[in-house]
Amino acid sequence: MIDFWTEFLLYAIAVIVTVAVLARPIGAYVYRVVAVGPASASRWMRLESAVWRGLGIDPTVEMGFAGYARALIAFNVVGGIALYLLLRLQGHLPLALADRPGFSPDLSFNTALSFLTNTNWQAYSGDNTLNHSVQMAGLTVQNFLSAATGISVAVALGRGLGSRAEGLLGNFWADCLRTTVYVLLPGAILLALYFGIAGAVQTLQYDAVVHTVEGTVQHIAVGPVASQEAIKMFGTNGGGFFGANSAHPFENPTALSNFVQIVALLCIPFALTYTFGLQVGRPRDARLLRQVMLGLLVALAFLGGAAEQRNAVPSGINVSAAQSALQSGGLMEGKETRFGIVSSTLFTAATTGTSTGATDASIDSMTAMGTFVPLFLIQLSELTPGGVGSGIYTMVVYALLAVFIAGLMIGRTPEYLGKKIEATEMKLVAIFVLVTPALVLIGTAVAVLWPDALKSVGNPGARGFTEILYGYSSAANNNGSSMGGLNANTPFFNISLGIAMFLGRFWPIVAALGLADAFSRKRPLEPGPGTMPTSGLVFGMLLVGTIVLVGVLTFVPALTLGPVADALVTAGGTAP
Amino acid sequence: MDIILLLIYVALVGVTAWLIAAITPPRGRP
């Protein structure tokens, strides 16, 4: 018998080793084809040139902060409108079904902003409400473009912190197109082929008709799943074809595909730390960021797994959830028996530590601690290792905050990667760090006071509050996972969560680009006696402390009303 | 409803554009 601890350790090591093997070459590749760009005489560049001529864009023209930010926002705004129209008009599109009319305006608003912002919050069940044309031309396309947007911002920040020309961040159109075509498309194609081979369906039919042994006819939903699944994980998007997301056997067929999905969603966020290290010329500093990301993720994943493996059966029920030679044990409600506790909780931690938000188990069925783990991973601002692009630029912002706090405490010169940190940078860091908590806490407060909003809550008391808090945390931090007990398909939740997703995505992006601009204008400093090393253990501990303390201090009152109260209530009625 | 949501969208884009304008360094700043 393999006990929980051994299984967790082996599984985690297998994931870490596989991601470590893949992340370095992917990071170097992103640096070469996106951050630097193909050589002007290369075959790729000749192909690209034709595209640029057709679009009327000169990719060699570098943009300043305002130009880069405006191009990024304009590109995304147009994408949002296009997706909204596709959702509203889906009944008139090719492959339309008579019983699947256009989404309501508020649900279209929510869904368009959700996929625009890499959140992929889903207040609907795609397999019985969406047409394939919208799944493919709308949602899957946005999965690529939102991921490319995030990576572009990360690359621009790397350029700013590296020693480059003053105030020039690169060309957004070139970054976005190269990320999509050279990075995301090849990875998604390979993964789609694997998922198809593993058993995920890929067809334009809507249902498979089967005759059961009882003699009845059953219609099983199918569709172009494998292709959507690939970019769903590789781009840390998370929006499933099926309502059951990665718990559905057509979307996540085997234990091996579950492992591949975890690896796929962790690859790019970790790879971009290598890209960043190459851009700023300080791989050891980037390695420290990567180690902090990994350490926090593993620690919280372990906490979640241990919480679900406990023999915490409500008192008065004469069963045991203890692990033994005859049963794997643990609290299996809402989990797939083919995955078990370790695969389910590691998957949950990985998708909430990144901005993916896919699920292969029901978060609302977990214990109070099991629910706290994904909630807190999201509330740490999505940096363990975070979304594609957003993970590294969020971690860099927290590194700046840690350096600044260290400077205040011990009189060190606040500088990071050889660039001095001054008032302008700290104002931008403050905007970045405060926007999402404000959206989460104000959104949750308004929701619990809003007439009729509490009718959407599936469970009364502390668990119901956690469902709402989880919803706004997930939306504002662009995660997209949810506690299934919350019926969020109401005008209030659709609109308010949509607003949280938009501002939680683009305000931090603008602040990150502002930081890139500010740093690009600074002359690199030589390390002096007052310079704090930012690649060693001491700074690593300071960074972990900063991340955890900011998260805890911001959210502890809300967490007390939610998962903490939930734990206290349920602890009274369960066996130890 | 579509119009109301369009106005909310325009407002979201507007405040983001304002943030960009507020952060944009003045011309000629070294």
B26 vs chain A: nearest CA distance in angstroms? 11
Report the pLDDT value the prediction gives residue B28, as an integer from 0 to 100.
53
A237 occurs within a structural domain? yes
Question: Does the distance separating the beta carbons of B9 and A66 come in below 8 Å?
Answer: no
Residues of B in contact with A166 (CB under 8 A): 30
Report the pLDDT value the prediction gives residue A576, as an integer from 0 to 100.
39
A190 occurs within a structural domain? yes
C-alpha A231/C-alpha A135 separation (Å) is: 12
Whether A458 and A484 have beta carbons less than 8 Å apart is answered as: yes
pTM: 0.95
Print pLDDT tens along chain A (576 aa): 788 889 999 999 999 999 999 999 999 999 999 999 887 767 777 888 899 999 999 999 999 999 999 999 999 999 999 999 999 999 999 998 988 999 999 999 999 999 999 999 999 999 999 999 999 999 999 999 999 999 999 999 999 999 766 788 999 999 999 999 999 999 999 999 999 999 999 999 999 999 999 999 999 999 999 999 999 999 999 999 999 999 999 999 999 999 999 999 999 999 999 999 999 999 999 999 999 999 999 999 999 999 999 877 777 778 888 888 888 888 898 999 889 999 999 999 999 999 999 999 999 999 999 999 999 999 999 999 999 999 999 999 999 999 999 988 888 778 999 999 999 999 999 999 999 999 999 999 999 999 889 999 988 899 999 999 999 999 999 999 999 899 999 999 999 999 999 999 999 999 999 999 999 999 888 888 888 899 999 999 999 999 999 999 999 999 999 999 999 888 765 543
Task: Write out the residue range of the structural domain in which residue A59 sits.
Answer: 4-280
Q: Does B27 touch chain A (CB under 8 A)?
A: no
Report the pLDDT value the prediction gives residue A164, as an integer from 0 to 100.
62
Question: Does the distance separating the beta carbons of A77 and B5 come in below 8 Å?
Answer: no
Of B9, B24, B29, the CB nearest to A66: B24
C-alpha A231/C-alpha A244 separation (Å) is: 17
Residues of B in contact with A167 (CB under 8 A): 25
A254 occurs within a structural domain? yes
Of B1, B9, B23, the CB nearest to A106: B1
Report the pLDDT value the prediction gives residue A170, as an integer from 0 to 100.
94
Best mutation site among B7, B12, B18 for testing chain A: the one with the most A CBs within 10 Å? B12
Q: Does B15 touch chain A (CB under 8 A)?
A: yes
C-alpha A41/C-alpha A332 separation (Å) is: 58
CA-based nearest residue in chain A for residue B26 = A66
Report the pLDDT value the prediction gives residue B26, as an integer from 0 to 100.
75
Report the pLDDT value the prediction gives residue A575, as an integer from 0 to 100.
40
A93 occurs within a structural domain? yes
A353 vs chain B: nearest CA distance in angstroms? 26
Report the pLDDT value the prediction gives residue A329, as an integer from 0 to 100.
85
Of B8, B25, B30, the CB nearest to A517: B25
Query: How large is the ipTM?
Result: 0.94
DSSP string, A461-529: HHHHHHHHHHHHHHHHTT-----TT----SHHHHHHHHHHHHHHHHHHHHHHHHHHHHHHTSPPPPP-T
CA-based nearest residue in chain B for residue A496 = B8
| HEC secondary structure over A112-162 | HHHHHCCCCCCCCCHHHHCCHHHHHHHHHHHHHHHHHHHHHHHHHHHHHHC
Question: Does the distance separating the beta carbons of B16 and A109 come in below 8 Å?
Answer: no
Question: Does the distance separating the beta carbons of A506 and B5 come in below 8 Å?
Answer: no
A455 occurs within a structural domain? no
Residues B14-29 have a mean pLDDT of 86
List beta partners, residue A413.
A531
CA-based nearest residue in chain B for residue A431 = B19
Report the pLDDT value the prediction gives residue A412, as an integer from 0 to 100.
76
C-alpha A244/C-alpha A220 separation (Å) is: 14
C-alpha A336/C-alpha A545 separation (Å) is: 35
C-alpha A467/C-alpha A460 separation (Å) is: 10
B20 vs chain A: nearest CA distance in angstroms? 6
Best mutation site among A114, A425, A510, A523 for testing chain B: the one with the most B CBs within 10 Å? A510
Residues of A in contact with B13 (CB under 8 A): 73, 77
C-alpha A497/C-alpha A471 separation (Å) is: 8
**Residue ranges of chain A whose CB lies within 8 Å of a chain B CB:** 65-66, 69-70, 73, 77, 80-81, 88, 104-106, 108-109, 166-167, 428, 431, 495, 498-499, 502-503, 506-507, 510-511, 514, 517-518, 521
Domain count, chain A: 1
Whether A195 and A208 have beta carbons less than 8 Å apart is answered as: no
A157 occurs within a structural domain? yes
A331 vs chain B: nearest CA distance in angstroms? 43
A209 occurs within a structural domain? yes
Residues of B in contact with A70 (CB under 8 A): 17, 20
Within A281-379, residue ranges assigned H as helices are: 283-309, 340-353, 368-379
A512 occurs within a structural domain? no
